[in-house]
Amino acid sequence: MNAWLAGARAGYGAVQLLRPGCSAEQLLGGPLDPGAVAAVRVLGARQLAQAAVSVAAPSARLLALGAGADGAHALSMAVLALADPRWRRPAMVSGLIAAAFAAGGATAARRAARRAAQRDLPGAIY
């Protein structure tokens, strides 16, 4: 699960960083102004960094922190969508994608925690 999630995150982040005009926020959310395009690039860099960390050190704690970051991003996009009608569509698109990554990250964290617990109990029957 974690490798698949990291791959999806890295691909999504690369598009955001290198080709923000092809990002979901642009294509589904509507035309973005230059400031929003810069924000999409920053989010892409964060996605790439998070993907790298989740592959390099896939501990349950780090995966849970990543899921928390995605959840916070989703929440901030919900607030933006409610607060400013101009940004409603791109904020909803970005927030829904972040919520999906949060759910995937939480699942990966639970699985990593379960694997760690199994390693800590050699000889246990599962």
| Per-residue pLDDT in tens (0 to 9) along the chain, 126 residues | 788 999 999 999 999 999 999 999 988 888 889 999 999 999 999 999 999 999 998 899 999 999 999 999 999 999 999 999 999 999 999 999 999 999 999 999 999 999 888 876 665 555
Give the pLDDT of residue 119. Answer: 75
* Predicted local distance difference test score (pLDDT) of residue 14: 97
Calculate the alpha carbon distances from 100 to 8, 70, 72, 84, 94 in Å. Answer: 11, 8, 12, 23, 10
44 Cβ contact list (under 8 Å, min separation 6): 12, 13, 14, 15, 16, 17, 18, 20, 23
Q: Which residues contact 76 (CB under 8 A, 6 or more apart)?
A: 95
Provide the pLDDT for residue 4.
93
Per-residue model confidence (pLDDT) at position 124: 52
Tokens representing 95?
């927030």
- The predicted pLDDT at position 125 comes to 56
pTM score:
0.88
Sequence-ordered list of residues with C-beta below 8 angstroms from that of 23, at least 6 positions apart, any chain: 15, 16, 40, 44
- Confidence at residue 2, expressed as pLDDT on a 0 to 100 scale: 81
